[in-house]
Amino acid sequence: MSTDKTADKTADNTAGTTAGRTGDRTGGEPAWLLVTRREIVSRITDKSFVLGTAFMVVLIAGFIGFSIWQDEKTTDVTLGATPDSVAMATAIKDGAPDVDDKVEVTVTELADRDAAEAALRDDEVDAWLHPTDDGWQLTTESSEQDALTTVTRAVVQQTVLADNAAQVGTTVEALQAGSTVTTEFLRGDAERANVAEAVGFVFVFLFYFAALVFGMQLASSVIEEKQSRIVEIIAAAIPLRHLLAGKVLGNTALAVIQLLVYLAVGLVGLSFTSYSSYVPALSGPAAWFVAFFLAGFVALACLWAVAGSLASRTEDLQSTSTPLTMLMLVMFFGGLSLDGRAQVIASYVPPVSAVVMPKRILAGGVEWWEPLLALGLLAVFAGLTVMVGERLYRRALLQTGGRVSLKQAWATAE
Amino acid sequence: MLEIRELTRRFGENTAVDHVSFEVPSGLMTGFVGGNGAGKTTTMRMVMGVLGIDEGEVLWQGRPITRLDRRSFGYMPEERGLYPKQPILDQLVYIAQLKGMEGGAARTAVTELLERFGLGERTKDHLEKLSLGNQQRVQIIASVLPQPQALILDEPFSGLDPAAVDSMVDLLREYTRDDVPVLFSSHQLDLVERLCDRLVVLSQGRRVAAGSVTELRDAGVPRFRLVLGGDAGWVRDLRGLEVLDLDGTTALVEVREAGAEQQLITEATGRGDVHEFVRVRPALSEIYREATA
């Protein structure tokens, strides 16, 4: 591999020529690293990427902020009472905090029915409480006061029940003895199950969103290079394997970094809400999710690159990427809807396992070896798609003139 | 020297390049001409290793070419383009680095070339913001990075205005002076004739002519033009000559039997005044048309 004859002219690239391995290294750096760096730098200096990420962060933070506000706000209601209902209304006012601590009741005394109706129309009171032949009635102007109705029902029931019990010489407690039904979960508890369900949805959605956005981006950057033929200049300089590796690594790094930002914002935000006690418990599953995301994204990224290389113009991407977008949808809905035995099976089947296993980990009750096995299988699958993808990508990339079919790309000579 | 030996490439049933051989000597400009679909681009892509070779081989300095050799070649693909949405300095440095330059050296070399092509002020501009001519200049810079050992340029002059053609030619001459072999394809025959030391003509995947421009022009049947003081009609009666054109005192003849031209001039001087007797070499375009016909 002597280049001595022209050594004077290649003074600048002797670093490359003396590196020993044929052309895989460039000025002191491996070619794939140069490509990775370009992918990352050109992306994070791209306004739309930065703005998109910032927008998502604001959206997540905003959503959490809204839930906190929802959580903490109290409903103030004014309850109108005519002389025949003042006693009960006061009981409701006093009993409200025990039923729902977010509801605060103020009682306004009104002269009679007409005054009550007038007060309702003028919005001076939110509801008017009055007795009927067989109970009590809440009159509102046009819409129901849900919170107030719940409170009123509970207090009225309690008060009337106590009165009735007293009349027959017993107590409510005595009447209710032995009638309580309590629930118990063998695994976790109800609230935890709800949190797991919600976070599981977030995981599935984040995976779908990131895999689609970054996958599309990767595919179109492959087309950009193919369409502009800069790929020929690159192909003459470095092995195409390095180009593919650099692109996949660059986009994976970007996707993971973005995901970590979203997760961090989400978990930190969550610690400010009433669910803050779940943050430590969620961190473990979140770490697993990142690991599964990494393997799953690498597996898909190579396929996205193939989709890009099969097209020869941006317009072709729609059709060459259809199988992949279908796969994404299957993963999305599979991740959301599978349960029971199907979920257990799917949690081992790549690439669906990338979203299903983290969900199972969230729900709890997963043996320690299960995520490891699923991750191992996913990694093997990723290795396979990298190998197959590399072959297809290399062969399709330098074919010009129209779309290349998978079969052509596989069979064609280089 | 770059040697192309019996290069062959088939696409299915179609043989795009059919056992083509020629040389690109160091320090000379070799023009590569041929109609659309003649196989020029396919040949160049095979030389650059961008396309696989079915048969034949490419030699560099007398031994089979390696990837490392190719990396030191300057290459300009046919339908050119770089990254439209990246600053020109950044992407040129990136390409120089891929070709093995170290980051700092690459930046210096690129900046120097950009200044030379009058783009020193625009290093941070995105490629798509430049005029087509300037984009072409950036493309040229991309192909001569770093110091190339050979230049393979597919239609480097297409889309250039005359001034840009001149500065491109100056640049190429600098490389040939440094003993770099240059192979470029072109449709513009006048340009090829003006620039090229050597010429390779392809037609339907086959090499139909190769050699220096003078060699090619001398290669055909010799033709002579004769201008006499009187009527030249008698030329038709001489043996061993074919009269291609006769107009009053002027005749254009093709020599069919060796020595017939000597007889012609003896006869002519015997008959009266001879104003002109000159060998006519066909224009390159004529040779090209004949070769590819």
CATH of the domain at B243: 3.30.70
Cα–Cα distance, A336 to A274 (Å, whole number): 25
Q: Are A227 and A312 in contact (CB under 8 A)?
A: yes
Predicted confidence (pLDDT) at residue A9 exceeds the cutoff of 60? no
Task: Report pLDDT for B101.
Answer: 86
Residue B30 structure tokens: 């070799």
Same domain, B208 and B281: no
Q: What does DSSP say about strands B198-203 and B29-33: parallel, antiparallel, or unpaired?
A: parallel
Sketch the domain layout of chain A as residue ranges. Answer: 28-67+189-411, 75-173
Same domain, B121 and B246: no
Q: Are A381 and A301 in contact (CB under 8 A)?
A: no
Residue A390: which H helix or E strand, with range? helix A369-397
Cα–Cα distance, A244 to A396 (Å, whole number): 12
Same domain, B127 and B181: yes
Cross-chain Cβ contact B83/A230 below 8 Å: yes
Q: Is A388 exposed, middle or buried (0-12, 13-18, 19+ CB in 10 A)?
A: middle
Q: At which of B217, B245, B275 does a domain end?
A: B217
Chain B residue whose CA is closest to A4:
B61
The total of structural domains in chain B comes to 2
Q: What does DSSP say about strands B150-153 and B182-185: parallel, antiparallel, or unpaired?
A: parallel
Residue B224: which H helix or E strand, with range? strand B223-228
| pLDDT tens column, A215-273 | 999 998 898 888 888 888 888 888 888 899 999 999 999 999 999 999 888 888 888 88
Same domain, B196 and B58: yes
Q: At which of B169, B184, B217 does a domain end?
A: B217
In chain A, which residues have their Cβ closer than 8 Å to the Cβ of B84?
Answer: 224, 228
Q: Are B100 and A26 in contact (CB under 8 A)?
A: yes
SS3 state of residue B209: strand
Cross-chain Cβ contact A237/B80 below 8 Å: no
Predicted confidence (pLDDT) at residue A125 exceeds the cutoff of 90? no
Cross-chain Cβ contact B51/A398 below 8 Å: yes
Q: What does DSSP say about strands B73-76 and B150-153: parallel, antiparallel, or unpaired?
A: parallel
Residue B186: domain span: 2-217
Same domain, B53 and B194: yes
Same domain, B196 and B240: no
In chain A, which residues have their Cβ closer than 8 Å to the Cβ of B97?
Answer: 26-27, 29, 34
Same domain, B115 and B201: yes
Predicted confidence (pLDDT) at residue A2 exceeds the cutoff of 70? no
Q: Measure B54 CA to nearest chain A CA, in Å.
A: 9
Same domain, B115 and B90: yes
User: What top-level class would CATH report for the domain A75-173?
Assistant: alpha beta
Supply the DSSP symbol for A142. Answer: S
Give the pTM. 0.75
Which A positions 394-413 lie with beta carbon below 8 A of chain B?
Answer: 398, 413
Cross-chain Cβ contact A9/B102 below 8 Å: no
Q: B264-289: b or e for each residue (b if 16 or more CB lie within 10 Å)?
A: beeebeeeeeeeeeeeebbebeebbe
For residues B277 and A179, the model is more confident at: B277
- Single-letter code of the amino acid located at B155: E
Q: What is the pLDDT averaged over residues A1-23? A: 38
Q: At which of B217, B247, B264 does a domain end?
A: B217
Cross-chain Cβ contact A23/B146 below 8 Å: no
Same domain, B148 and B257: no
Q: What is the CATH number of the domain that holds B169?
A: 3.40.50.300
Longest dimension (CA), chain A: 116
| pLDDT tens column, B110-141 | 999 899 888 888 889 988 888 887 888 888 88
The rounded Cα A377 to chain-centroid distance in angstroms is: 23
Q: Which of A47, A225, A232, A312 to mutate to test the interface with B (most CBs of B within 10 A)?
A: A232
State the ipTM, two decimals.
0.79
CA distances to A379, B222, B263, B274 from B249, in Å: 89, 20, 18, 10
- Residues above pLDDT 90, as percent of chain B: 24
Q: In 3D, which of B79, B91, B78, B149 has the Cα closest to residue B119?
A: B91
Q: How confident is the model at residue A3 (pLDDT cuts 50, 70, 90)?
A: very low
What totals of helices (H) and strands (E) does chain B contain, helices first?
A: 10, 14
